Structure 1
């Protein structure tokens, strides 16, 4: 049998981190687009497992719920199972209680329950531990649950012992893909929601025992640090940026500039952003750069760095061809300045 496992769609999320309200509205629309792509993939499976936080909260718009029902109806041959999460718990005023999502959709509402589907069974609950269950060894037993496996979360901590009896456990709550080394997995979010959710996102799909991660084509978030060395001029920074930022007009980028600037270069973050911002879909740009100082200038400082540089320059004066000393000076200054070490 074939399944599709997804989780943490957080539909109707506000995207408060998007300072541009137009981009925030586009991000909400992209969530619905990603959900539609998941439904398109699900046409080729027997079971769709949604492991919690399908919604970002129990606040909902009727138009969104109607669209979701239409999408589920378009895969009426697929059995859909939803285990609510900590963002969208099953309560009397939740969309799960107030809205009919269709005959092919089952929502787990409380303690762990079993839905018998003949050759297989699907187990799930609403944010509680698995508890004691009796599995039929002649069935494929799937678990769909929202919780924290082996973590320190106060929300529904799960243990590997609880998961051991099941054929496959579709987990939600952790927003990054866990890998498929075990019979349990987190699919992660299918769409990044901020700079703490970077890179390619997707779902888990395939035959039981031969599952794979399937990327969802969608906008991605990236975090990048660029080290500058005595940079003199905006052009050089721009060249580095576009070399390291593929698809700037499609994805969201958070770029942090570090290192040193030429003392006579009047760098301003806002000027750089004004020069290049139109080429990015979304750019968060920060600078932690400092003016470039020669080793001789550093040696005049009454600081730990100054003391270190004076000592190293004295040694180099006595051994001017010693490359080990020269490298030690370079690395030592980088460490004292809390800069990344360049290999």
Structure 2
């Protein structure tokens, strides 16, 4: 079996609400456009490296917010990548159902959407089999690997949207254990590797990969995220390289106003904190301000909006 090169991504969340940026306002619309731009970058990456396939580990879009325009965008973006095959394993936010985009869109021949809540095989050639599964509801999906065992010779890899139990705590209090599994389930099933979605914090484990969400959805997301270029060897070994594809950077800024005796002093200090950065920003203001300084949140916001597309401000 020759080496097979794939690009893997997950958790793009097209049509996300971005409530912190005003939901239906200009800033939130810019953020949603940035997600589309990131998908175009992912497709361009797959084309540039002549990938054998593009994998999507689910939560490609938000089911409850998806629009006909998003459907047309996805159809065109994936068709343009042809003949490179694209494999999609729907997640808990873009679950497969008769009214999902996955069922309604007339996809180009290079797109394969997994439609069952159990692992099913696709022969990728070169003695490589891909096993994929779908969430078919927004909750209560079980362990895809439980009771599963691969069939046939060669190398076997999986693509699905699932939560590895030991890593759940690291992902934040809001992350739920959809399709929860244990890391050793992968090897026990006879799989050499699992390409996954669900966790927004990237993770490269011995037998599984979480790429992380490729474009920032919220502040405080840590880790080198993006798309993963993975090379699968004849022995089932996987080498990985992360590629930045985000159209926007998210910055956490800290402004200490201690010692500032005028509005101008605060503005000057804020300018140094934000200097040279672009994208979106969350500013945390801390420290003791001189009692005669009239500092207003909106003043800080207007300074930041000279550099950033969207701003969130909080006082510690």
- TM-score by length of structure 2 reads 0.82
172, 183, 196: which one aligns with 1:160:
183
For the Cα contact (< 8 Å) 1:11–1:32, is it kept in 2? yes
Deviates more, 1:125-134 or 1:111-120: 125-134
Would the alpha carbon gap of residues 76 and 210 (structure 1) be closer, same or farther in structure 2, given more than 3 Å must change? same
Would the alpha carbon gap of residues 124 and 83 (structure 1) be closer, same or farther in structure 2, given more than 3 Å must change? same
Quote the residue 2:66 is aligned against: 60
Structure 1 vs Structure 2 CA RMSD: 2.3
CA deviation vs aligned residue, 1:174-204 (integer Å, no higher than 9, x gap) = 11211x2422111011111222436764111
1:60-209 correspondence to structure 2 within 5 Å:
60-110=66-116, 111-118=118-125, 119-127=127-135, 128-129=142-143, 130-135=145-150, 138-150=153-165, 151=168, 153-164=176-187, 165-178=190-203, 180-197=204-221, 201-208=225-232, 209=238
Would the alpha carbon gap of residues 141 and 247 (structure 1) be closer, same or farther in structure 2, given more than 3 Å must change? farther
For the Cα contact (< 8 Å) 2:202–2:224, is it kept in 1? no
Quote the residue 2:14 is aligned against: 11
Deviates more, 1:78-87 or 1:51-60: 51-60
| 3-state DSSP of counterpart to 1:242 | helix
Measured in 1, the distance between the counterparts of 2:222 and 2:25 equals 21
| 3-state DSSP of counterpart to 1:158 | coil
For the Cα contact (< 8 Å) 2:16–2:62, is it kept in 1? yes
Quote the residue 2:42 is aligned against: 38
CA deviation vs aligned residue, 1:33-54 (integer Å, no higher than 9, x gap) = 1111111111221121100111
Quote the residue 1:22 is aligned against: 26
Would the alpha carbon gap of residues 58 and 279 (structure 1) be closer, same or farther in structure 2, given more than 3 Å must change? closer
For the Cα contact (< 8 Å) 2:35–2:247, is it kept in 1? no
Measured in 2, the distance between the counterparts of 1:234 and 1:104 equals 58
Would the alpha carbon gap of residues 74 and 267 (structure 1) be closer, same or farther in structure 2, given more than 3 Å must change? closer
Contiguous gaps of at least 5 residues in structure 2: 136-141, 170-175, 233-237
Instruction: Compare relative contact order (CA 8 Å, sep 6+) and give the higher one, 1 or 2.
Output: 2
280, 296, 301: which one aligns with 1:252:
280
The structure with the largest helix share of the pair is 1
**Number of aligned pairs?**
286
- TM-score by length of structure 1 reads 0.76
Cα offset, 1:108, TM superposition: 1.2
1:204-215 correspondence to structure 2 within 5 Å:
204-208=228-232, 209-215=238-244
